[in-house]
Each structure stands twice: as structure tokens, then as C-alpha cells.
Amino acid sequence: MSIEVKNIHKRFGNFIALDNVSLNFPQGELTALLGPSGCGKTTLLRIIAGLEQADSGHVFLDGEDASGQHVRERQVGFVFQHYALFKHMSVFENIAFGLRVKRRDVRPSESEIKKKVMSLLELVQLDWLADRYPPQLSGGQRQRIALARALAVEPRVLLLDEPFGALDAKVRKELRRWLRRLHDELHVTSIFVTHDQEEALEVADQIVVMNKGRVEQIGSPDEVYNHPASSFVYGFLGNVNLFHGRVHEGVLDSGGIAFDAPDHAQAQDANGIGFVRPHDIEVERYTADAEGIVARLRRSHAIGPLAQLELVRADNAQLIEAVISTERYQHLGLTEGETLIVRPKRLRVFVNESASQSA
Ligand code: ATP
């Protein structure tokens, strides 16, 4: 099922939770709603589900206005951060629940229920846990059971609100890969809420970046990561070094260092910020005639193929983070405290929020 929301507004008292949100969620895709705490992600999910009413605007399910439809009619499956499994019911009964409470004329037979529950348990790879009770499961297992339960009623859309938020980092990582594989098998239109940019980038077909009740950008993981529409998106989607300064006729001057900002050729002494990802920073040994920023290496360590460097700019004490290959790190033979030359390879300049890229 495809989902479209149009001009959604939602207030809680004087607080604007959603400010004119319009979005498309294509059939069969997995979309991440990504943004900081309080930006309206959950509220939007609840409005799509029919659990919350928008003050104005519309939700279309498969092109049909769902405004008057009850939650049940919308046929959505939910999974929340705090797995709401029934503690007094076995895993089997938890998954069977949605089937047992169906109207009599559409309720499956006992043998159909058994078959369905067992096939869902196989799908989430936990068929050996059918007779256990929720308190006897790990957090990750509970979330997989919660997902199986949501899928039992064959929802037309699956809504996941921080489904792995309460789990530790390692389990979280495993489960998000597992969710992606599951989605590739089932192709149910799915929306999941997260504030973890790595999770969104790794799992989603499309990412909606939200901030303060508004949509900052919608696009593929590659689009939002490599072509962010605003400085907010750039900063939210990964570590970033900021170089503040003035932009004049295509050049950003940050503390006496000039950076190219070719798309801002018309700028006349405007405020600008250059954004550089840590892996887009080149580092070399200091020589008096080398061009670049002079910085002192404060701390460094190599883990696996990458080395992280923490540098302090000599002229203004700004902290600069760089990530280089361990090979290069070892080749340079860096020692903490030494002076280096730092050069951004790729810098993105935002002037009053319009961006340009220089390579
Ligand atoms: P988080 O990642 O912390 O869950 P979120 O992006 O999902 O955040 P929402 O839960 O949608 O954010 O909330 C958006 C804003 O609306 C928040 O400031 C929240 O305090 C407020 N809000 C949400 N529900 C209500 C409510 N029922 N009454 C009053 N304010 C609410």
C-alpha cells in the first residue's frame, strides 16, 4: 500500500508538533523518519495509523482519503520501542492474539492459526521459542516476536516506532540487518522512526529528515548523506567539522584560510559555514611552505582499517576531527603533540542555508 500525507498540521496547546508536512511513502518501500528527539516523528506515525487526529491535512492510503477511517480499518501493524507483549501469554498465544480476536466470520480456524503462527515464528527465526513466556526472552527476541505478532494480521503497512531503541548496540545492529532482510522478503510498505542516523542510512530505502515539526529533506540514503539540502541535515547525518567565516565572491575566509565556494560567486561578504566530514580531511607533516591549516595532533588511535585523529587548530584552538587510513597513519608515523598540516579535500559551504560543494 502506498501512503501519502498532505499538509499535516498538529498542535499540542501552543506547541506546533507538525508544521505543514507533506510526504509520499511508496508501495513496498522501507522509509526511515529520522530526526532529533521531539521533532514530531512519533506524532506523524500515530496520525498515519489513525491513533491521533491531525488538526488539518489528509492521509491517503492507496490514494484513498483515510481521514474517516478507524485504526482497524487502516490495517496497520505496529511495533513499539517497549515491546508490549502480553506477559501472561506464551509466545505462540501472543502471535495468535490478533487472529483470535477477529470477527467470527473472518476468523481463521484453529489449525489455520497454528499454521500461520508457526510460519511467522520461522520467518523471525524463533520457532523454538513458541512455548516460552515474554519474561523468559531476551530484549532482541521480544522485538522479533512483537514483529511477528504485528505481521500476523497481514497488515497493509507496518509502522515501527524506535523498534530497537531499548536494546544494546550490538543486538541493535544485528536486528536492523535482520529487519532489512525480512523487509526484502515481505515487501510490506514500512515506516520506522529512529533518531540514529547510522540505522537509517543502513536500513532504509528512503529517509525523511525532520526538524522541529518540519521536513528538512526526503531522499535516498545516498542523497541525504552526500547531497544534504541544509546545514541541519549535513550535521545530523554524521560527524562534521565546521569552519565559520565570511563568504565573498566565491571564497570562504575562515580565520585567514581561504576555501573555494564556487557556487557562491555572487556572495558579497555574507556569513558562511564550511562543512567537512572527518574522512574528507587530508593530513600531512608540517613544512613551512605547505598550504593548509596548521594544527597540533592532540590524540590519535587506529582501530582496524581507520585511524581517528583529534587536532587543535593552531591559530584559534578549534578542534578538528580527521579520519585517515591506518596505512597512511602508520606511514606518517605520527606522534601526539606534533604539528601537522590539515587540508579539507571536500568542503560544503552554506551561505544563509544555500549550499555549494567544492572538491
Ligand atoms: P522522540 O524521538 O523523543 O520520541 P519524536 O520526534 O517522536 O521524539 P513526538 O513524540 O512526535 O517527537 O513529539 C513531538 C513534540 O510534541 C514533543 O515536543 C512532545 O513533547 C509533544 N507532544 C507529543 N505528544 C503530546 C501530547 N499528547 N501532549 C502534549 N505534547 C505532546
pLDDT of residue 77: 87
Does 10 share its domain with 159? yes
Mean pLDDT throughout 184-199? 92
Cα separation, 196 vs 254, whole angstroms: 31
Given pLDDT bands bounded at 50, 70 and 90, which one contains residue 358? low
Of 157, 152, 161, nearest to 92 by C-alpha is 152
Distance 41 CA to ligand 1 centre (A): 8
pLDDT of residue 130: 93
pLDDT of residue 357: 61
Is the separation of the CB atoms in 235 and 274 below 8 Å? Answer: no
pLDDT of residue 123: 84
Q: Is the pLDDT of residue 290 over 90?
A: no
Does 23 share its domain with 112? yes
Is the separation of the CB atoms in 191 and 34 below 8 Å? Answer: no
**Three cell numbers at 103?**
470477527
Does 94 share its domain with 13? yes
Mean pLDDT throughout 314-318? 87
Distance 214 CA to ligand 1 centre (A): 13
Final residue before a domain boundary, out of 192, 221, 236: 236
pLDDT tens by residue, 245-257: 999 999 999 888 8
Does 156 share its domain with 274? no
pLDDT of residue 64: 92
pLDDT of residue 233: 93
pLDDT tens by residue, 89-113: 999 999 999 888 888 888 888 899 9
Does 327 share its domain with 289? yes
Q: How many CA atoms lie within 13 A of 18 on its CB side?
A: 26
**Three cell numbers at 274?**
564550511
Does 123 share its domain with 37? yes
Cα separation, 64 vs 62, whole angstroms: 6
Mean pLDDT throughout 326-346? 92
Does 35 share its domain with 148? yes
pLDDT of residue 301: 93
Mean pLDDT over each residue of the chain, to the nearest integer: 90
16-25, 73-82, 147-156: least confidently modelled range: 73-82
Given pLDDT bands bounded at 50, 70 and 90, which one contains residue 277? very high
Candidate of 5, 39, 47 to mutate for ligand 1, largest count of ligand atoms within 8 Å of Cβ: 39
Candidate of 10, 11, 21, 41 to mutate for ligand 1, largest count of ligand atoms within 8 Å of Cβ: 41
**Three cell numbers at 120?**
511467522
Candidate of 33, 43, 55, 191 to mutate for ligand 1, largest count of ligand atoms within 8 Å of Cβ: 43
Does 201 share its domain with 328? no
pLDDT of residue 204: 96
Cα separation, 359 vs 353, whole angstroms: 19
pLDDT tens by residue, 117-150: 998 998 888 889 999 999 999 888 898 899 899 8
Q: Give the type of residue at 72.
A: R
Is the separation of the CB atoms in 245 and 258 below 8 Å? Answer: no
Mean pLDDT throughout 224-239? 89
pLDDT of residue 80: 79
**Residues with beta carbon inside 6 Å of ligand 1?**
12, 15, 17, 35, 37-43, 195
Q: Is the pLDDT of residue 167 over 80?
A: no
**CA distances from residue 344 to 190, 249, 278 in whole angstroms, order as listed:** 38, 20, 9
Mean pLDDT throughout 183-206? 92
Given pLDDT bands bounded at 50, 70 and 90, which one contains residue 264? confident
Q: Is the pLDDT of residue 17 over 70?
A: yes
Expressed as residue numbers, the domain containing 283 is 241-358
Residue nearest to atom 17 of ligand 1 (CA): 38
Final residue before a domain boundary, out of 236, 253, 288: 236
Does 187 share its domain with 302? no
For the chain, what is the domain count?
2
Does 152 share its domain with 284? no
pLDDT of residue 279: 94
Q: What CATH number does residue 57 fall under?
A: 3.40.50.300
Final residue before a domain boundary, out of 175, 202, 236: 236
Entry pTM: 0.85
pLDDT of residue 355: 61
Mean pLDDT throughout 339-355? 84
